[in-house]
Structure 1
Amino acid sequence: MKKPRILLADDHRMVAEGLRGLLEPDYQLVGIVEDGRALLEAADRLMPDVVVADVSMPLLNGIEAVRQLKKKNKEIAVVFLTMHLDVAYAASAFEAGASGYVLKHSAPSELLVAIGSALKGRTYITPLLAGELLNYQRNRPSGDQEGGVARLTARQREVLQLIAEGLSVKEAAAVLGISSRTVEFHKYSMMEILGLKSSAELMRFAVEHGIK
């Protein structure tokens, strides 16, 4: 019987390597990547059945990477394995198209359950957050998805993360393959959309919404 194919995405290499022994008895580990951009490239090339990804990764965070991945490859299931015990991150993960949300300090068996559920088309959330997520979704104002983040385009969110990581406009432009002028345009468009008056306020917004 053919083993399901798994791609790991985590910028902590030791964590990813540690998962190898847990997964390899039942799954084929087709690759390990360390940032969100590499995740998108590897998913296109390797076509895994499941992606296990961290939320916080450089260049493109896990949630934004999964949002883009699911637009192109809806059939690839995604399970987040993260340190973030924050219901807002979990809500964003499922809105992006994730099938599971597991904490890194949970028992290893929980990740295996989440992956198994994802392969069957079901969702899994760590019991530590399940009740809180339900309350969060019930009490959130209608139409409020991730605060102002949902009003930004995918490209704007990419620009925002790179700038929040400390890259200059020129460096961000090089990563994205666009001009510095286009990066500046996106930066000021975001400030206008979000009602922010300075680059410092834009950085504060990025930190508060976990765009890093």
Structure 2
Amino acid sequence: MHTNTARNPRVSLKPRLVIADDHRMVAEGVQHILDEDFELLEIVADGEALIETVHRLQPDLVVADINMPRCNGMDALKRLRQAGMDTRFVFLTMHMEPALAVAALRAGARGYILKNSAGEDLRNAAQQVMSGGTYVTPALGARYISGQMTDMRSLTSKQLQVLRLVGSGLRSKQIALQLGLSVRTVEAHKYTMMQVLGVHSTLELVRRAEDLGLLF
């Protein structure tokens, strides 16, 4: 169930904001932090409501939790991107794993902020994202995450196909047959991906790919 919290129907020159979090106090805290610079359109409490609201209101920015009922924030973002919606997303979450931040950025998020460091961090993120940049909570090691994003962008679509089949448990000969490649080409792709992702065995490759969200 979504809640309309827009206080004034007049036209505003401020960027338009939707907040998605199933904890009302958190959502109101975000509203308070960003109220000076954004016009709040709605607060929603689950991912399905978020998808509907973004389609209906087309906000300039969404600040969303990842863990939400009905549809989590990451899946909501992916579905909106698949539908052609390019609304800027900032995730505000308790999850401190750098790999999850990488996966969020890969899915199309522009910011990743930890709830325990919101405040000024969230203001900075919102300003940077609205200026066309990205922002990751410094505690997560933005340089590391940026490097991982660069690494992943260097993988070709064919390599990603091979990687997902490796992750499903297929051997090189089976992958070669399924993709119409030679076994040597499949092995070459695996070797290249190991170099790019900094691992030394097929098992490590699969684990690293899982950590980075490449097998979804």
With the shorter chain as reference, the TM-score category is 0.5 to 0.7
User: Superposed, which structure 2 residues align to 1:5-154 within 5 Å?
Assistant: 5-129=16-140, 130-134=142-146, 136-137=148-149
Preserved contact between residue 10 and residue 57 of structure 1 (Cα < 8 Å): yes
Secondary structure of the 2:42 match is: strand
Preserved contact between residue 64 and residue 90 of structure 2 (Cα < 8 Å): yes
Query: Mean Cα displacement is larger for which, 44-53 or 106-115?
Result: 106-115
Distance 2:146 2:129 in 1: 19
Aligned residue pairs: how many?
150
**Larger RCO: Structure 1 or Structure 2 (Cα < 8 Å, ≥ 6 residues apart)?**
1
Preserved contact between residue 11 and residue 57 of structure 1 (Cα < 8 Å): yes
- Change in Cα spacing, 1:2 to 1:59, as seen in structure 2 (3 Å) is same
Q: Offset of 1:72 from its aligned partner?
A: 2.6
TM-score, length-scaled by structure 2: 0.62
Distance 1:131 1:35 in 2: 31
Distance 1:59 1:120 in 2: 32
Structure 2 residue runs of 5 or longer lacking an equivalent are: 1-11, 169-212
Q: Offset of 1:28 from its aligned partner?
A: 0.4
User: Percent sequence identity over matched residues?
Assistant: 43
Q: Offset of 1:75 from its aligned partner?
A: 3.2
Letter in 1 for 2:144: E
- Change in Cα spacing, 1:21 to 1:87, as seen in structure 2 (3 Å) is same
The one-character-per-residue Cα deviations of 1:163-195 (angstroms, maximum 9, x if unpaired) are xxxxxxxxxxxxxxxxxxxxxxxxxxxxxxxxx
Q: Offset of 1:71 from its aligned partner?
A: 2.5
Structure 1 residue runs of 5 or longer lacking an equivalent are: 153-208
The one-character-per-residue Cα deviations of 1:78-107 (angstroms, maximum 9, x if unpaired) are 011111000121011111100111111114
Distance 1:49 1:134 in 2: 24
Preserved contact between residue 87 and residue 136 of structure 1 (Cα < 8 Å): no
Secondary structure of the 1:17 match is: helix
Distance 2:122 2:14 in 1: 17
